[in-house]
Every structure is written in structure tokens, then in C-alpha cells.
Amino acid sequence: MQYHFRTEVRVRLPETDAMGIVFHGNYFTYLEVGRVDYLRNLGLSEGIRPIKDFENVVVSAHVDFKSPARLDDPLVIDVCTKEIKRTSFTFCFRIAHKRTNKLVAEGYTVHCAVDDAMQPIEVPADFRQVIGTFEGWGS
């Protein structure tokens, strides 16, 4: 997997559990931070809408935990789009400790483009084109 985008977060106190490590559920927030920053970087978001031209819903989310992160750890989140199908698209993520580059977690989210009635729609061509260009597909 090639990653062409990176953003950062710092572990905050409310994200840690009683053992002082990041609570597993908070990794999904980190994936969201990475995804929204990625889309914003590509000019695909607007205001509070992560994707300005169509709605989407998460239909699958997965994280594999590799090593713990703790309070104040600086983390880097690498993001890429793995694929865009007819109505869905998949983002992949890699989270590592910034200072040591030790892998903390890996994961992905699958999203479905939907209309106002929450029915699947085709992923718009402009979205495909912007991401394909950024990811280097077909070049």
C-alpha cells in the first residue's frame, strides 16, 4: 500500500483508558481525522461536510492494533484510497508513533455513496478523478 498523505494527532487524556493507553474505540476517531484531513487536502470537503458533492455512509470499519499509544504521544496517520468501486470506496490507514515510527495500528473504512433516501448511488466521476490523480492511478 502506498500512502501519499499524512496528518498528525496528539493523544489527549480523555482518549486513554485506566491503563494509560489509548482506548481501542478512539482509533476510529483517528481514522476519521485522517480521512477528513485527506479529503480537505484534496479540496473535496466543504464546511462540515467531509465530501461536498454527495453523501456517504460507513458500511465497514476495521482496525488491527499493533502497539500501544499513550498520553501525549504524537501520532502520524497515513491515508490513501485503496479503490473506488461503482457505489463504494475504501480508505486505508496506517498509524505510527511520530518519534519512533513504530506501527501503532492499521485499518480501513469502506463507504457507500448514498442519495437522500439512503439508497446507493454511483460515486461521482469528479470524485473519482480527483482521487485517481492524487493517488497516481493510471499514470
pLDDT tens readout for residues 88-132: 999 999 999 999 999 999 999 999 999 999 999 999 999 999 999
Residue 129 cell numbers, joined: 478523478
Residue 130 cell numbers, joined: 480527483
As a dihedral over the C-alpha atoms of residue 124, residue 130, residue 134, residue 139, rounded to 10 degrees, the angle is 80
- The stretch 31-48 carries a mean pLDDT of 96
How far is the CA of 77 from the CAs of 20, 38, 53, 62, 116, in angstroms?
21, 10, 25, 15, 31
Residue 11 cell numbers, joined: 493523544
Which fold would CATH assign to domain 5-126?
Thiol Ester Dehydrase; Chain A (3.10.129)
Domain residue ranges in the chain:
5-126
* Angstrom distance (rounded) from CA 92 to CA 95: 10
pTM of the model: 0.94
- The stretch 13-32 carries a mean pLDDT of 96
Structural contact between residues 107 and 31, judged by C-beta atoms closer than 8 angstroms: yes
